[in-house]
Amino acid sequence: MTLADSFLQALNLLFSGDSQLWEIIATSFAVSGQAVLLITPPALLLSFVLAYGRFPGRKLLITLSNSLLALPVVVIGLLLYLLFYSHGPLVNLQLLFSRPAMVIGQMILAFPIVVVMAHSHLQGGDRRELETVQTLGSGRLNMIWTLFVEHRYALLAAVLAAFCRVIAEVGSSLLIGGNILHYTRNLATAIAMETDKGAVSQSLALGLVALLLALGLQFVVSHFRGSGRVE
Amino acid sequence: MTKPLLQLTDLRRRLGRRVLWQIPQLTVPAAGSLLLRGHNGTGKTLLLKTLAGLDKLDCQALQLHGLNVAQSRWQQQLRAVTVYVHSQPWLFERTTQSNIAYGLQRQGLRGSHLRERVWEALEWAGLQDLAGQRARQLSTGQQRLLAITRAWVLQPALLLLDEPLAGLDQMARQQLLELLGHLAEEHRTVLWTSHEGVADAGWVDEIWQLEDGQLSREIYRGRQASAVVSFHRPASHIKL
C-alpha cells in the first residue's frame, strides 16, 4: 500500500463515522480539557502574583516555572507511575491506568506552560494599569478580575497553547493511562499503538485528526494573539 | 477654622541610599487648587503617588481631618480619600462611558443611578459625543480629559493630577485649564504637577516647589495669582 492509498483510506475512515475513532477523539478532549480547566485558575493566579507581587522567593518561583517547561513528559509519566504502581506510596488511590491519572499527568505538563506564557505577557505590561485599578477603588479580588479581563486574549492564548501541547503528548498518557480501549485510549496513544501494529491507514487517520485539531486550535490562538506584528 | 485634609509629619522618600525628598510637615488643605512645581527628576510624581497610597509611605505620623490614622491603615485611608491620574493615563479597553462607570461600579452604583452619574460626568467634560467610542482610540487630549473625568466623578476629597497639561496642543491645554479652574471652584482639593510655567492658571491657591529634596510653599489664596504663576522662583517662600 502506497502512502497515497493510506492517506485516502485515512480520509475515508475519518468521514465514515467510525465509532471507535470518534470515541478516541472524545477521550482526548475529555482528558485534556479537564486537565487544562483544572489548572487554569491557579496558574493564572500564580502568573498574576509573579507579575505584580513583591515578595521573597518570587524570582526563584519564576525560574522554577521556566525550568518545569523543560521537564520531559515521559519523566512526568514515570514519576506518577512510581507513585501509583502496586508498590508505590499512593497505590491505595488506585489511579494507575485510569483517566484521572492521565488528567494529573497532563495537569503537571500544562501548569508551567500557562504560568510562563501568562507571566511573560503580564510582565511586559505597565504598572499604570495596576495603579489605576487601585486608585479607582478596586478591592484585591476585583483588581485581579479587572486585569484578567483586560488581558483576556493573551491569557486565553496561553491556555489554548497549553491545551494544544497536552492533547498531543504521548509519554505520560501511555505510561499511566495504559492505552485501554474504551477508557484511556486517546489520540496520541492510539497513533503510537497503530503504528506499532503496522496499521498505517488507521494511524494516519488519527494523525490527520490530531493535525486538524492542532491547526484549528492554532488558528484560534493566532486570532487571539492579534496581527503578530508591532502596531 | 477648617481642619486640613491631610497632615504628614517627617515625610521622606528614599531611592536606595539617596533621600529623594524630606518634608518635615506636609499639610494638604481641605479645599483649593495646589500646584506642585519642580524640574524633571525631583520626585513630583512619587510625591503624588505617595499621597495617593500607591507608593510606600515613610513618615512619622498621618492625620486625616485632624485625626491620627493608625500606621496599619495609612495606605488604605489615603486610597479612600484620593484618586490619582497619571500623566499618560491608562484607560480600560472599553468605551468612554464604561471607563467612567468603572469606579462608580466599585462604589456599588448600578442601573439608572449609575447611568445618570456617568452622563452627568460626560456633560461636565463635554464628552457626550464620544460616549460610545473606544477610549484608546481617542486623541491624547481627549484621553487625558476622560481620565480626569473618570477620577472627578468619584468625588474624591483630594484629586491628584500628574502633569495634566504636558504634551497638549494649545486648544486642548486651554480646555483642560478651564476644567482645572472649575475643579478649583468645587471646594475640594486638587493637587497637580507641572514642570513648566502656567501663566494662565490664575486661580491657583498654593504653589509648592520641590527642589533639592526640599518642599517650599507659596500661598496665593485671595491674591491675584496670575502674575506670579509664570514660574519664576517666588521672592519669599516658606520651607516646609
Q: For the domain B6-91+138-239, what is the CATH code?
A: 3.40.50.300
Q: A interface toward B at CB cutoff 8 Å?
A: 126, 128-129, 131-132, 134-139, 142, 146, 150
pLDDT at A21: 83
Q: Do B90 and A126 touch (CB under 8 A)?
A: yes
Region B193-221 average pLDDT:
82
SS3 call for B218: strand
For cell 504628614, what's the residue? B8
- In SS3 terms, chain A reads as CCHHHHHHHHHHHHHCCCHHHHHHHHHHHHHHHHHHHHHHHHHHHHHHHHHHCCCCCHHHHHHHHHHHCCCCHHHHHHHHHHHHCCCCCCHHHCCCCCHHHHHHHHHHHHHHHHHHHHHHHHHCCCHHHHHHHHHCCCCHHHHHHHHHHHCHHHHHHHHHHHHHHHHCCCHHHHHHHCCCCCCCCCHHHHHHHHHHHCCHHHHHHHHHHHHHHHHHHHHHHHHHHCCCCCC
Q: Note the pLDDT of residue B201.
A: 66
**Does the pLDDT value for residue B25 go beyond 50?**
yes
CA distance B4 to B235: 26
Name the band, by pLDDT with cuts 50, 70 and 90, for residue A229.
low
Asked if residue A218 belongs to a domain, the reply is no
**Rounded Cα distance, A20 and A33, in Å:** 20
Lowest average pLDDT, out of A41-50, A207-216, B195-204, goes to B195-204
φ, ψ of residue B67 in degrees (nearest 5): -105, 140
Which tens digit of pLDDT belongs to each residue from B55-69?
989 999 999 999 999
What are the structural domain ranges in chain B?
Answer: 6-91+138-239
Q: With an 8 Å Cβ cutoff, is B157 touching chain A?
A: no
CATH at A130: 1.10.3720.10
CB contact under 8 A, A134 and B79: yes
CB contact under 8 A, A137 and B90: no
Strand partners, B208: B36, B217
B152 contact A CB<8A: no
User: Mutation test of the interface with chain A: which of B45, B76, B92, choosing the one with the most A Cβ atoms within 10 A?
Assistant: B92
What is d(CA B208, CA B188) in angstroms, rounded to the nearest whole number? 17
- Cα distance between residue A154 and residue A150, in whole Å: 9
| Contact check, Cβ <8 Å, B90/A132 | yes
Q: Which residues sit opposite B189 in a β-bridge?
A: B32, B158
pLDDT for residue B197 is more than 70: no
Range of the domain at A103: 21-184
CB pairs under 8 A between A and B: 45
Amino acid at B222: G
With CA atoms as reference, report the closest residue to B198 among B219, B216, B178. B178
Contact B88/A at CB under 8 A: yes
Residue A193 pLDDT greater than 60, yes or no: yes
Measure CB to CB from residue B54 to each of A126, A131, A138 and give the nearest one.
Answer: A131
**Contact call for residues B47 and B34 (beta carbons, < 8 A):** no
Shortest distance between the Cα of B80 and any Cα of chain A, in A, equals 7
Of the pLDDT bands very low, low, confident and very high (cuts 50, 70, 90), residue A225 is low
CA A50 – CA A58 distance, rounded (Å): 6
Amino acid at position A167, single letter? I
Give yes or no for a contact between B87 and B69, defined as CB atoms under 8 angstroms apart: no
* Residue B236: per-residue pLDDT: 42
Task: Give the chain A residue nearest B94 (alpha carbons).
Answer: A150
Give the Cα separation of B200 and B177 in Å (integer). Answer: 8
Helix (H) or strand (E) run with residue B83 in it: strand B82-85
Ranges of H-type helices in B82-169: 96-106, 111-125, 140-152
Treating both helix axes as pointing N-terminal to C-terminal, what angle do A19-52 and A58-68 enclose, rounded to 10 degrees? 160
Q: What is the mean pLDDT of residues B148-171?
A: 92
Nearest C-alpha of chain B: how many angstroms from A112? 28
Task: Let me know if residue A141 belongs to a domain.
Answer: yes
Q: Which of A129, A135, A138 to mutate to test the interface with B (most CBs of B within 10 A)?
A: A135
Counting residues of chain A whose pLDDT is more than 90, the rounded percentage is 63
Structural domains of chain A, count: 1
Which residue in B has a C-alpha nearest to residue A138's C-alpha?
A: B106
CA distances from A135 to A129, B125, B142 (A): 10, 20, 20
Task: Give the 3-state secondary structure of residue B74.
Answer: helix
Give the angle subtended at the CA of A195 by the CAs of A189 and A198, to the nearest 5°: 145
The answer on pLDDT for A87 being more than 70 is: yes
pLDDT at A105 over 90: yes
pLDDT at B229 over 80: no
d(CA A105, CA A117): 19
Interchain CB distance below 8 Å, B103 and A137: yes
A138, B83: Cβ pair inside 8 Å?
no
Nearest CA among B35, B154, B167 for reference residue B105: B154
Copy the grid coordinates of residue A69.
517547561
Residues with Cβ within 8 Å of B78's Cβ and at least 6 positions away in sequence, in order, are B6, B51, B52, B53, B57, B62
Grid coordinates standing for B120?
452627568
Its sign, for the CA torsion B27, B29, B30, B33, is negative
Average pLDDT on A198-222 reads 80
Judge whether B90 is closer than 8 Å to chain A, CB to CB.
Answer: yes
A165, A169, A172, A176: CA torsion to nearest 10: 110
The ipTM (two decimal places) reads 0.89
Given a cut of 70, whether residue B198 has pLDDT beyond it is no
pLDDT at B180 over 80: yes
How far is Cα B135 from Cα A114, in angstroms, rounded to an integer?
30
For residue A192, being part of any structural domain is answered with no
Q: What is the mean pLDDT of chain A?
A: 89
Q: How far apart are CA B84 and CA A147, in angstroms?
A: 18
pLDDT at A102: 96
Q: Which of B54, B88, B90, B149 to mutate to test the interface with A (most CBs of A within 10 A)?
A: B90
Asked whether residue A98 is domain-assigned, the answer is yes
> Which pLDDT score is estimated for A19?
87
Q: Which residues pair with A227 in a beta bridge?
A: none
Residue B237 predicted with pLDDT over 90: no
> What's the first-to-final CA gap in chain A, in angstroms?
51
A137 CB neighbours in chain B (<8 A) are: 79, 103, 106-107, 154
Question: Does a structural domain hold residue A228?
Answer: no
